Amino acid sequence: MHWLGVHFPELAHKCRCLARARWPWVIAALILLIHGMVVWAGGPQHIPQWYLALGLRRHSLWDGAFWQIFTYAWLHGTWPHVITNALCVVVLGARVEQILGSRGFLNTLAAGILGGALGHLLLADGSSNAFPLIGISGACLAALLVITTLSPQSRMFPLPVSGRNLGLGMVAAALILALADPKLNLPGFATLGRALVTHGLESWFAVGHACHVGGAMAGFFYARWILRPGPSLSRLRQDRQRREARQRSG
């Protein structure tokens, strides 16, 4: 039997993968708990000092707030924001954990958070009045790119596209939107950005596209590092001969 082009046994396998996941559920529960505490304290508008101290801002980082490279990922703005990211962490993270184990998932999470911070610092508006970067979506994009890079020919349910095409499409879209931010005023891209704003799509630039680019690239390079060729037998023999030659000469 099929549903949306997927065999029911395959769908059941995906559900079992979600049920067996451990760390993705822990991370999702943690970001939901943190946002619950923020709401209990009055919401972002009543505790802006939390976001200014823990969200990522370029000039704060230059002033020594290095912890923001990590802490920005654990704060979110709204319930839809945090719930969307929590679902992505569980769904994508469960697959990464199934492929690479708990350590591989946590490495992907860390790489995505750091890569997202780097992407934001390099590509996003860094003016002093820019809102701090918050959210764990950079790590979500890292998990997606790990999956699509390790399994480029697999179909990404529910979309009828291959992993390779989905990964390339997500990175390209995020990069174009990051560069089209009218605040950057980049030649050519600014025209596109202003056109989107004119058509009522200004909210698109409230999303951390630069963070998404950085997180995605971090996931891609982490996956490529995993796929690097291992040492050949001849290479191991050469290394052994060199070590033995040094020992004899010493």
Taking only the tens place, the pLDDT of each residue in 156-171 is 666 667 778 888 999 9
Whole domain around residue 107: which residue ranges? 2-249
What amino acid occupies position 91? V
CATH of the domain at 116: 1.20.1540.10
Q: Residue 222 and residue 239: Cα distance in Å, rounded?
A: 26
Judge contact between 145 and 225, C-beta under 8 A.
no
Q: Which of 34, 63, 64 is nearest to 51 (CA)?
A: 34
Instruction: Quote the CA–CA distance of 163 and 23 in Å, as a whole number.
Output: 23
pLDDT bin (cut points 50, 70, 90) of residue 10 is: low
Q: Could you tell me if 118 and 178 are in contact, meaning their C-beta atoms sit under 8 angstroms apart?
A: no
Separation between Cα atoms, residue 101 and residue 111, nearest integer Å: 15
Any idea what DSSP says for residue 203?
Answer: G
**Three-state helix/strand/coil letters over 103-169:** HHHHHHHHHHHHHHHHHHHHHCCCCCCCCCECCCHHHHHHHHHHHHHHCCCCECCCCCCEHHHHHHH
The pLDDT-based confidence of 16 (bands split at 50, 70, 90) is confident
Q: Look at residue 131 and give its three-state secondary structure.
A: coil
Q: Give the pLDDT score at 159.
A: 65
Per-residue pLDDT, averaged over 120-148, amounts to: 92
Beta bridge partners of 56: 133
pLDDT in tens, 95-119: 999 999 999 999 999 999 999 999 9
Element (H, E) at 142: helix 137-150
Q: Is 133 helix (H, G, I), strand (E, B) or coil?
A: strand
Identity of the amino acid at 165: N
Given a cut of 70, whether residue 12 has pLDDT beyond it is no
Between 159 and 42, residue with greater pLDDT: 42
pLDDT per residue as tens digits for the range 51-62: 999 999 998 999
Which pLDDT band holds residue 4 (cuts at 50, 70, 90)? very low
pLDDT of 233: 67
Quote the mean pLDDT of the chain: 88
The rounded Cα 153 to chain-centroid distance in angstroms is 21
* Residue pLDDT, tens place only, 192-218: 999 999 999 888 888 999 999 999 999
Torsion sign (Cα): 228, 162, 116, 15:
negative
Residue type, 178: A
**How many domains in the chain?**
1
